[in-house]
Structure 1
Amino acid sequence: MKLPIRVSEESREPIYHQIETQVKSLIVGGQLPPGTPLPSIRVLSNDLQCSVITTRRAYQNLESNGFIKTVQGKGTFVKEVETIKMEETKQKVVIDAFVKAIEQAEQVGCSSEDIRRIFKEVMENKRNGG
């Protein structure tokens, strides 16, 4: 199974964290239901063209935080995640995305009012199927 995730060398965020965040998003968003087998560390690192060490770190963090489990000799699978943890994770993912977007907007010189206006336009476009 090939995971629909992308990593960016240009991002200030470490690659292992990019992998971890995107896998969490796929789990809490329901695209990776409990029991879904995940690619091996070696396969995923090959798909993303990053080191095995980087991918292993992402998987270790996901496992220690209760999102995935590794079964010796069988592979790595999505774990059943508690509803409260799912909701907390969804909120954190969205907040982190907003923080990054706001930081980028400020870097290019947008004011708070510009950011609000752009956000409203984007939301309106999404509602209208754009």
Structure 2
Amino acid sequence: MAYELKSYDSKQVKCVLGAHTVTGPADDTFISIEPQGDGVSSSVGVYGDVSRSISHDPRHTIKITLQQTSRSNDVLSSLCDVDRLSGGAGAFPILITDLRGSTLFTGMAWVQKKANATFAKGIGSREWTLEAVGGFTNGGND
């Protein structure tokens, strides 16, 4: 019997915002990518005729969760400020990839709003929400 072994290494997941490589991800889920469009939806008529509608919406919601001590919080905060102060000219290139697999997102992004800041006895996290326009391959691992 043949066995197949696949490996995943969270350190091999890279996120690059413009020229900045994100550092200091929080424990557990640190990046999520969610398409905003409906993909392919369908409807059925009274006689059972099925029609499909294909969404061409290229937008994605990307959430990046960082330790509150991460310098990437400063970068994301600055990117948000630049976008607002420039009247919307602050979109930046984004690349998210799993170097041990085939998952890849590339496009242009902007920070929707600054992350909430909370303080506690221990080190907390900051969740940043970005919106992006781009291409997404949700792949497997080697």
Same fold (TM over 0.5): no
The structure where strand makes up a greater share of residues is: 2
Superposition TM-score tier, normalisation by shorter sequence = under 0.3
The structure where helix makes up a greater share of residues is: 1
TM-score (norm 2): 0.23
